[in-house]
Amino acid sequence: MELALIDFEAPLEQQAAMMASACETVGFFQLPLSVVPRHIVDDAWTAAAAFFALPEEEKRQIEFPEQGYPYGYSPFRFETLAKSLDDGSPSGPDLKESLSVGPDCGHPSGGADTADSNSETSDPIHSDQAWIRSPSLWPERPAGLRAAWTAYYQALAQVAEQLMTVMAVALELAPTYFDSLIDQPITSMRALHYPAINAAEDAVDSNSLRAGAHSDYGTLTILRTDDVSGLQIQQPDGTWNDITPRADTFVVNLGDSIAQWTNDRWRSTVHRVAVTDTAPRQSFAFFHMANWDASIECLPTCRVDGEPPHHEPVQAGPWLMRKFTSTVT
């Protein structure tokens, strides 16, 4: 399945029209990899691959220090993403390992780095944001990983802001509508490695998944993948479609916050990584989130003919916390 490609060089109205169509029908689209300078993309990708190539005992030096801690190294089979759907379906641990970092990577428009150091919300110890503002755990090796990932995080934060502007226009809102809701985002970033699979050694059967079925929780996810297949999206009838892997684009998908804001007019599509290829696979996900205290409730332009909201209003941060902690094996 090929996804629509959004061109930032096109007129804003054209971008908005393409986005609206993709978000209403699929919930996924693509961006050219060139929206981020290539050396920034490559440096972050190469550093991630070097980290995953380290011995297991070295990677575990920055393993989650306690159950529910949001950042650090997650070993193979540690996480079960399918649990986040809370639909009672049988699910096994995901066949992947990962390294996650949080908002302390920095954000060009603000965030924890530029918040008033004397304010309650900027002090993780005395704030309800303590969980999401937990320090990222950085490995000693490979050298340069932290700098490369910080540059990548900041570049994608700018891309996400631009996408939110296009979304506002597509939803018939002012281009700046979302600005005050994403100026201190609780965005995280995660590199994922899916080791080569040996069906016998890894106890893989027809129900095994590299990443279980789930929807993402925030506003949008910007994903880079390699050319190994496996990413699938679920259609309304329950069938699964393969996304054609392309190493020259970013795959972007909507999260639950956008679905709730739009009263399900736009889709937060359930997706998974299936075992369609036993070769090793790597991906890099940037999970853009609104501010911790942003209210996620039906937008004024998304209530058609007096249709009631489909969802109760929620705060972005507590919502994320509940969803994340449900996935820990």
Check which CATH number belongs to the domain holding 291 and give it: 2.60.120.330
The pTM (predicted TM-score) of the whole model is: 0.90
| Domain enclosing residue 156, as ranges | 12-212+224-325
Residues 220-275: pLDDT tens digits? 999 999 999 999 999 989 999 999 988 899 999 999 999 999 999 999 999 999 98
Specify if 242 maps to a domain: yes
| CA dist., res. 7 & res. 33, Å (int) | 11
Q: What's residue 91's pLDDT?
A: 64
Specify if 65 maps to a domain: yes
| CA dist., res. 105 & res. 95, Å (int) | 27
pLDDT bracket for residue 88 (50, 70, 90): low
Specify if 62 maps to a domain: yes
Summarize the confidence of residues 204-222 as an average pLDDT: 84
- How many CB atoms sit inside 10 A of residue 127's CB? 15
Specify if 3 maps to a domain: no
Specify if 5 maps to a domain: no
For 274, residues 6+ apart whose C-beta sits below 8 A from its C-beta are 209, 210, 230, 232, 240
Q: What's residue 126's pLDDT?
A: 38
Residues 92-132: pLDDT tens digits? 788 899 999 999 986 433 344 433 333 334 444 336 788 88
Specify if 75 maps to a domain: yes
CA angle 39, 42, 48 (to 5 degrees): 140
Give Cα separations from 314 to 60, 133, 223, 260, 292 (angstroms). Answer: 35, 19, 26, 9, 11
The secondary structure of 155-218 as a DSSP string is HHHHHHHHHHHHHHHHTTS-TTTTGGGSSSB--EEEEEEE----TTTTT--TT-EEEEEE---S
Residues 13-60: pLDDT tens digits? 999 999 999 999 999 999 999 999 999 999 999 999 999 999 999 999
Q: What's residue 32's pLDDT?
A: 97
How many distinct structural domains can be found in the chain? 1
| CA dist., res. 266 & res. 243, Å (int) | 19
Q: What's residue 7's pLDDT?
A: 95
Q: What's residue 155's pLDDT?
A: 97
End-to-end CA distance of the chain: 32
Summarize the confidence of residues 211-216 as an average pLDDT: 89
Residues 279-321: pLDDT tens digits? 999 999 999 999 999 999 999 999 877 788 999 999 999 888 8
pLDDT bracket for residue 207 (50, 70, 90): low
Q: Supply 196's token pair.
A: 């080569």
- How many CB atoms sit inside 10 A of residue 182's CB? 24
Specify if 257 maps to a domain: yes
Tell me what the pLDDT averaged over the chain comes to.
87
Identity at 261, one-letter amino acid code: W
Specify if 218 maps to a domain: no
| CA dist., res. 184 & res. 289, Å (int) | 9
pLDDT at 149 over 90: yes
Identity at 290, one-letter amino acid code: A
| CA dist., res. 36 & res. 155, Å (int) | 6
Q: What's residue 277's pLDDT?
A: 87
Contact (CB, 8 A) for 51 and 59: yes
pLDDT at 79 over 80: no
